[in-house]
A = this chain, B = another copy of it.
Amino acid sequence: MNKIIAEVSIIPLGLGTSLSSLVAEGVKVLKECGLKYQLTSMGTIIEGSWGEVMDTIQKMHEKMFESGALRVSTSLKIDDRRDGREVSMERKVIAVEEKLS
């Protein structure tokens, strides 16, 4: 199974400017889905197969409407590497940090 790393940012519109409660609703859905993830200040990074990641993101996106949003803007960036290198979110950061020290 090929693994991708994706970062998703979900912006619900029409519910004001304080979004942390809604982001938390999305993260609860993500936790239930069981994929490895990392929460950052600008998005959520998720690791898994294409199908697993996309199913998870669709559920997080739908959760915003269930929570009252009338319009949702979801951005997604996928890194899919198949050149034989082992792929993980930790390894990508370590590879850069090794070159810095």
Contacts and interface: CB of A to CB of B under 8 A. Distances in A.
Contacts of A72: 78, 80
B39 A71 contact: no
Tell me the interface secondary structure of chain A in the complex: mixed
Given A28-B100, A100-B28, A92 B41 contact: yes
In the complex, which range does the number of interface residues on chain A fall in? 35 or more
Contact of A50 (B58, B70, B97): B58
A93 B27 CA distance: 11
Contacts of A50: 58, 61
Nearest to A90: B41
Contact of A81 (B27, B61, B71, B79): B71
